[in-house]
Structure 1
Amino acid sequence: MKILFFSSHEYDKKSFISVNQNFNFTLDFVEFRLEPKTAALAQGYDAVCAFVNDDLCKDTLKVLNKIKVKRILLRCAGFNNVDLDYAQKEKLLIYRVPEYSPYAVAEHAVGLLMCLNRKIHKSYNRVREGNFSLNALEGMDLFNKTVGIIGGGKIGECFANIMKGFGCKILLFDPKPSESILKVGVKISSLDHVFKKSDIVSLHCPLNEYTKYIINKTSIDKMKKGVILINTSRGGLIKTSDVIHGLKGLKIGALGIDVYEEEESIFFKDHKGDIIQDDVFERLMIFPNVLITGHQAFLTHEALHNISEVTLKNAITEKSINLIY
């Protein structure tokens, strides 16, 4: 089995090479994205492995199909970047890693929340400069606050469990909540109720036609003044221009994001010394109550190991719960 990895980084190589000792595949890694103009590089390989910002559009899949690469391994849970209609029509095997570490993502979401609420990032910078003033560092007790969770999958459940530990009230919007999250003690609510009553809103849902821009001007207008908004799922859940308007109008008290709707041209690269050409992203960066991390919520030792193991198992499995098409 020969597999070509696109959008690879050192942590990918280290983890996959280690796990590959149990498989003895031939693994090759390239740093650039999988897209129509790079897909032909997979000539002679049995499979390709792609990440969240690779472009598995119809044109990319056509090239892979033409060179007889029929197995596509996604080393991520989301598959909104795949043309599923074409994949199904051409009988391409598309696999994913549905669960690698829900704890990693949920804990990162809590980390963003804690940092923003208690101004830890500001305090850190002040103390390093010898400034021990406490002015403008006030936060709020999380105890007894209302947390709205959109998406009741494994990550949403982990996040709910953690916030229950803080003594929070949990509202959940999910059309099909799992039985296990109901046991956490969440209150199933309408989307409007979540927006209106929550002090904190955290997104833990996939990106699809129903959830794209679920956070927009209309939904923001329904929220409490000073709401804290957290997104560790997919950038396209938030209409960034509307969130900027909410920040300017003080409707949104703080924003913590690990994803961004146009992140593919920015994230996973070192832009130090560059001028980032995305004006919307640059505008976000000027707000003192915005905290951005570069899609690292998944990045734990445990998650990387699980991603590598499941992905390589997918490479030799015909039927699996991980098979999309």
Structure 2
Amino acid sequence: MQIIAYGVLADERNYLESAFNEAFEGAHTLRCLELFLDKDTVPIASGYESVLTSVNDTLDAEVLGALAAGGTRLIAQRSTGYNNIDLRAAGDCGLAVSRVSYYSPESVAEFAWALALTVNRRIVRAVIRAREFDFRLDGLMGRDFHSRTAGILGTGKIGTAFARIARGFGMRLLGHDIDKNPECLALGMRYVAPEQLFAESDLISLHVPLLPETHHIVNEDALARMKDDAILVNSSRGGLVDTDALIATLRAGRLDGVGLDVYEEEAAWFHLDKSLEVMTDDALARLMTFNNVVVTSHQAFFTQDAVGQIVAATVQNVRDHLDRRSGPNTLVPARG
């Protein structure tokens, strides 16, 4: 079987190639591309039965139809999120779809905390100054997280890992989710409505999936409820935050800091070298101008542990496809 992987990062490639070679001993050929999958690059996949995709690939009805026409039978998404895949269209085209339902939640939770600490303690500004031998402390004052309130929107595996770290800092825990997580309750978390969470939290971290009901859950109203000196961190999905509303809030001098590892329109920019091009995304460019905002390029998952688990799950998804069986990662089962 011919297998092609889109959006493969340089440090990810060795993991993928080694795992597939070990699992299938050369019986199936894997081709890795740095290119993202979209309507322009989909012809490359012609003749490949399995296509391994990333979160920044475009898998709408048009692309899925082209994949099916070219002989593809499996879409194996190398992530937990799959909001970039039109599952209904995939089913209509006869394409099986799988994802990685689990990988190290600590990878994302720890990075979310790295963002929180970075903006709180003005670390980027301090490093830039130090490189210029300016060792003043003016404008670098942060706050203790100890005894303050962490609001965690989404208390699944990642949100729970974030809560454990927050508890270690000695923070009061507020949470919101469809269901109450017993582990979070044991940590002392109190579940409240989103409105109360936004209003009372000193640090707000987002850990919910991007669904129609969570799109722009951090909107103008939510931002207005937040404390003027609150810190907002998003390491989940860019579409959870209304970027225009966030920029307006920052322009008004509100929020102590914002850490963003994701962005609504990131597919056009993140994981790519755009340093020699003109930045045409006005919203992203504007975010970069605020000295209390830190933007990283969707790297929270990017640890050796997490990538290893993602690759292992992807190998298993391909194996399940070959054996004509569904598994715990199956989103759309194969026909017949």
Give the TM-score normalised by the residue count of structure 2.
0.94
Aligned 8 A contact 1:229 1:254 in 2: yes
Q: What's 1:320 paired with?
A: 327
Q: CA deviation at 1:117?
A: 0.6
Partner of 2:330, secondary structure, is: coil
Q: What's 2:14 paired with?
A: 14
2:109 is the alignment partner of 1:106: yes
Partner of 2:331, secondary structure, is: coil
Report the residue type matching 1:89 in the other structure: D
User: C-alpha distance in 2, partners of 1:178/1:39?
Assistant: 41
Q: What's 1:131 paired with?
A: 134
2:204 is the alignment partner of 1:209: no
Aligned 8 A contact 2:256 2:292 in 1: yes
Q: CA deviation at 1:184?
A: 2.6
Q: CA deviation at 1:183?
A: 2.6
User: C-alpha distance in 2, partners of 1:10/1:97?
Assistant: 20
Aligned 8 A contact 2:23 2:315 in 1: no
Q: CA deviation at 1:229?
A: 0.4
User: C-alpha distance in 1, partners of 2:161/2:269?
Assistant: 29
Q: What's 2:202 paired with?
A: 199
Aligned 8 A contact 2:64 2:93 in 1: no
Q: Which moved more, 1:63-72 or 1:228-237?
A: 63-72
Matches within 5 A, 1:79-94: 79-94=82-97
Q: What's 1:311 paired with?
A: 314
Partner of 2:256, secondary structure, is: strand
Report the residue type matching 1:313 in the other structure: Q
Q: Which moved more, 1:269-278 or 1:150-159?
A: 269-278
Alpha-carbon RMSD:
1.2
Aligned 8 A contact 1:146 1:168 in 2: yes
Matches within 5 A, 1:140-289: 140-289=143-292
2:69 is the alignment partner of 1:62: no
User: C-alpha distance in 2, partners of 1:296/1:87?
Assistant: 28
User: C-alpha distance in 1, partners of 2:253/2:174?
Assistant: 23
Q: What's 1:23 paired with?
A: 24
User: C-alpha distance in 2, partners of 1:82/1:59?
Assistant: 11
Q: Which moved more, 1:163-172 or 1:92-101?
A: 92-101
Q: Which moved more, 1:140-149 or 1:270-279?
A: 270-279
Partner of 1:280, secondary structure, is: helix
Report the residue type matching 2:205 in the other structure: S
User: C-alpha distance in 2, partners of 1:302/1:245?
Assistant: 38
- For these two proteins, the number of residue pairs brought into alignment is 325
Q: What's 2:48 paired with?
A: 45
User: C-alpha distance in 1, partners of 2:305/2:34?
Assistant: 23
Over 3 Å counting, the alpha-carbon distance change for 1:22 and 1:316 in structure 2 is closer
Partner of 1:324, secondary structure, is: strand
Over 3 Å counting, the alpha-carbon distance change for 1:182 and 1:70 in structure 2 is farther
Percent sequence identity over matched residues? 37
The Cα offsets for residues 132-166 of structure 1, whole Å up to 9 and x where unpaired, read as: 11111110010111011111111000000000000
Partner of 1:252, secondary structure, is: coil
User: C-alpha distance in 1, partners of 2:329/2:182?
Assistant: 21
Report the residue type matching 2:230 in the other structure: V
Partner of 2:40, secondary structure, is: coil
User: C-alpha distance in 2, partners of 1:274/1:267?
Assistant: 14
Aligned 8 A contact 2:216 2:241 in 1: yes
2:120 is the alignment partner of 1:120: no
Q: What's 2:5 paired with?
A: 5
Unaligned runs of 5+ in 2: none
Aligned 8 A contact 1:153 1:177 in 2: no
User: C-alpha distance in 2, partners of 1:78/1:297?
Assistant: 13
Q: CA deviation at 1:273?
A: 2.6
Aligned 8 A contact 1:23 1:312 in 2: no
Q: CA deviation at 1:278?
A: 0.5
Aligned 8 A contact 2:68 2:94 in 1: no
User: C-alpha distance in 2, partners of 1:166/1:308?
Assistant: 33
Aligned 8 A contact 1:220 1:251 in 2: no
